[in-house]
């Protein structure tokens, strides 16, 4: 008969393998249920934010951006790393919205907080809904560079974006989650967590 008490997955040993600009990799030896241990490789990521920017006509702002690991351009949401020390996630979302699509929002809601790939990575993404959009200039000191020089920005009716998820046109996980969550939020008005929740 299995024990109903949850097992404590104690880390018995850890070894740092790699430290990069964005990610790091470590190897943990972890105590397993029933005795023994197993090695788990863990990618540490600072986390990210994504923004479903929805205009007054019900259109979502999408970016088409090249992603080198898969060698393709993907349709995505405005998004970015939580790589500024001490910056609250909502402020990161506001900054990314201004930097990537030159927009500000009057109303913000927290839609979802998914772990992107919890089998090997600790990245958590906070997905926000931004409404009451207005155009703003690029923030002072921000320079568009690298893949962002090649980005395409479009506004797509939310219902069409949902269909693009099912067609396989939108494949970025954050965009899939954000578009479907926004559509559900607009359709049934679920109870959302406070905007500063985690």
Task: List residues with catalytic annotation.
Answer: 148
Q: In sequence order, what DSSP letters do the residues of 67-136 get, joined into one string?
A: ETTTTEEEEE-SEEE--STT--HHHHHHHHHHHHH-EEEEEEEEEE--BS-TTTB--BEEEEEEEEEEE-
Nearest Cα to Cα of residue 52 among 164, 175, 154: 175
Q: Kind and range of the H or E element at 175?
A: helix 173-188
The Cα 77–Cα 60 span in angstroms is 9
Q: What does DSSP assign to residue 34?
A: T
Can you name the residues that pair with 155 across neighbouring β-strands?
Answer: 61
The Cα 80–Cα 97 span in angstroms is 9
């Amino acid at each position: 008969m299995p024990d109903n008490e949850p097992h404590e997955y104690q880390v018995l040993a850890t070894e740092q393998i790699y430290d990069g600009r964005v990610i790091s990799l470590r190897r943990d030896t972890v105590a397993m249920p029933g005795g023994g241990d197993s090695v788990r490789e863990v990618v540490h990521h600072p986390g990210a934010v994504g923004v479903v920017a929805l205009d007054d006509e019900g259109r979502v702002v999408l970016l088409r951006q090249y992603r080198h690991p898969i060698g393709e351009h993907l349709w995505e949401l405005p998004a970015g790393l939580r790589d500024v020390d001490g910056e609250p996630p909502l402020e990161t979302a506001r900054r990314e919205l201004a930097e990537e699509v030159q927009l500000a929002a009057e109303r913000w809601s927290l839609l979802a907080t998914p772990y992107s790939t919890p089998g090997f990575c600790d990245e958590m993404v906070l997905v926000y809904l931004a409404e009451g959009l207005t155009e703003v200039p690029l923030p002072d000191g921000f320079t568009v560079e690298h893949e962002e020089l090649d980005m395409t920005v479009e506004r797509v009716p939310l219902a069409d974006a949902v269909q693009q998820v099912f067609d396989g046109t939108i494949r970025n996980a954050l965009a899939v989650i954000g578009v479907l969550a926004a559509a559900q939020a607009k359709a049934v008005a679920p109870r959302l967590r406070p905007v500063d929740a985690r």
